[in-house]
Structure 1
């Protein structure tokens, strides 16, 4: 992810945003939830905030960091109002520098001062870029993550493992400012809550009823509900990674459904939304576990019920090459091994730990559970007759 110095914010060319940022003066509930993640030797607070008072607090938090400079790493898709607001509060405490991400990697010529606190403002791509950039400080630069997407708030910002599987710099603070989500389409907010669904199914089934009763297929949530969802995600992450910061042992539960989801996304060329792919990956894993004699069918139904309440489709949107997806899974980093469940919240443990080898027949059976529904005979006949009439009427 290239990071390039940006021109002054007001002189930069206008870039379309999904929606205008809400007015800071708009009436809104004050929310302040504090959690923390202890992952091995790393420990960082997670602040979930909403409301005008929380922005005044941001200035105090920034001042307490004692930074010599705040390089703000972001991307052009982030609404300018968000960028300007964060810069204003950081700039009250120390000089700021705005850096745009472009793509590729962090250029060698872009340096970070040892006393700087790098701030990431954006989604997963920005977090990856800012983390890499902060690492250029030789361990003397600190990192603050301000995710702007529900996926980053619920998952990416809480992990010490990068997209490439390598360890990454731990932040000194993760701050989820819920106002950022107001500028996203509801469908994107919904899809970004896939980690919540995964956590309920694989880590904390005791929250099943509480979460299920508040899920909305529309993806439109009151800030209080979103805050509670994000707090649960932080708690589940903290539980899983306390003694497994690199997510190679018990914390593999956090990758439930990912093996198949990644293969589906790769085969779809990115056309399948990440949240929908995550849902399908969990449904495939559930069916595989049932067929392997590990999971009770009632637990598979619980998967389908929760995902239906969430609003993700239970089947692929159209025909797909099942055999190619199977081969992608088998050729993946885990060689076809998957996280499977013995019950909700109880991953199966085998000779190779939490990963269970799954062969082609089981994978095909699992994928059949999410294959597009075949049209009924009646509907097919209506379609056939309609086409015949259309052909007869054609000149």
Structure 2
């Protein structure tokens, strides 16, 4: 993985409308047999790159544009202007350009048929997930990958708390050597300059591509992307479970809390549901725990008996399946001693 430097702040914050310094942090994603470029651009010149790439993909220069809900007028206007030199038309013989969040992009990729698909994510979370966009075609079931992903972090508006999860997960579980630089750039108010957001996107694209390169289905090393189950609270729960099981040291568990807090997200503890499940757990930052050849560790409900009520002193983390009886006995012994 090449170095990704999180830059110093530039002239404006995301969505502020102030001039910002141009930035180009393009990446090439390799997921199994699929290879496609991810253009991570900041600045008005980025629209020209989209025009040229789409023109190169469409033999007859035709393209169709689909936009999902929630796309801002500013984002859609930039894409429309970039596609204006190209002839409109259906995707047959041309290119389908999909603009929107993660669900919109995945739906377009699954239903586009044989047409090349250009994806324009319009949320930080979708941009940071550009390496996990290989989907099964709805008609054939065969994997499909985009021909191009075009990311414009400078078109994001407002606080970005909701899109930071991939950044936090990838730093904790895949590339902890970026921990200090990312932690120093996180802001509790969720407002970032475009160059910093571009660096976050590039970091995630490289980290995810690295673990999915030889595991496109995410069943081996790529399963690490299930760490935290899509939520910052899930990161904290996984750290607490791993700590309780003696897998993760206190310093690394605390590193989870500090990173989540630096991003302005809640560090409140999550209660494990009263059912069995699986979790990706860490033995150290960047080192997933392997259980019977899998990164998914089966865990069960806490059990029943003394010491299993709820309250400030109650540890609600689960225990590995098959160990509930031993864990219950430990609590009964502790209760008797009291």
Q: TM-score, normalised by structure 2?
A: 0.79
Q: Within the alignment, does 1:358 sit opposite 2:296 as a pair?
A: no
The correspondence of residues 1-395 of structure 1 with structure 2, limited to 5 A, is: 27-68=19-60, 69-96=62-89, 112-113=91-92, 115-134=93-112, 137=113, 140-155=114-129, 158-161=132-135, 168-182=143-157, 185-186=158-159, 189-258=160-229, 278-315=231-268, 322=271, 325-327=273-275, 330=276, 336-361=277-302, 365-366=315-316
- Whether contact under 8 Å (1:158, 1:174) holds in the other structure is no
In 1: Cα distance, 2:294 partner to 2:164 partner = 27
- Whether contact under 8 Å (2:66, 2:98) holds in the other structure is yes
CA shift, 1:70, in A, is 1.5
CA shift, 1:83, in A, is 2.0
Q: Deviations over 1:297-353 (max 9, x none)?
A: 11101111111111110116xxx9x57x333xx3xxxxx111000110000012141
CA shift, 1:180, in A, is 2.5
CA shift, 1:80, in A, is 2.8
- Whether contact under 8 Å (2:69, 2:100) holds in the other structure is no
CA shift, 1:58, in A, is 2.1
Q: 1:49 to 1:158 in 2, by over 3 A?
A: farther
Instruction: Report which of the two has the higher share of helix.
Output: 1
Number of corresponding residues? 291
- Whether contact under 8 Å (1:149, 1:181) holds in the other structure is yes
Q: 1:305 to 1:257 in 2, by over 3 A?
A: same
In 1: Cα distance, 2:107 partner to 2:116 partner = 14
Unaligned stretches of 5+ residues in structure 1: 1-20, 98-111, 262-277, 331-335, 369-395
- Whether contact under 8 Å (1:49, 1:177) holds in the other structure is yes
- Whether contact under 8 Å (2:95, 2:117) holds in the other structure is yes
CA shift, 1:144, in A, is 0.8
Q: Deviations over 1:99-141 (max 9, x none)?
A: xxxxxxxxxxxxx41x22111111012112211221xx2xx31
- Whether contact under 8 Å (1:288, 1:366) holds in the other structure is no
Q: 1:288 to 1:257 in 2, by over 3 A?
A: same
In 2: Cα distance, 1:233 partner to 1:34 partner = 12
CA shift, 1:76, in A, is 3.9
Q: CA RMSD in A?
A: 2.5
- Whether contact under 8 Å (2:38, 2:130) holds in the other structure is no
In 2: Cα distance, 1:159 partner to 1:174 partner = 10
SS of equivalent to 2:39: strand
Q: Deviations over 1:4-36 (max 9, x none)?
A: xxxxxxxxxxxxxxxxx887xx63321111111
CA shift, 1:82, in A, is 2.5
- Whether contact under 8 Å (1:121, 1:147) holds in the other structure is yes
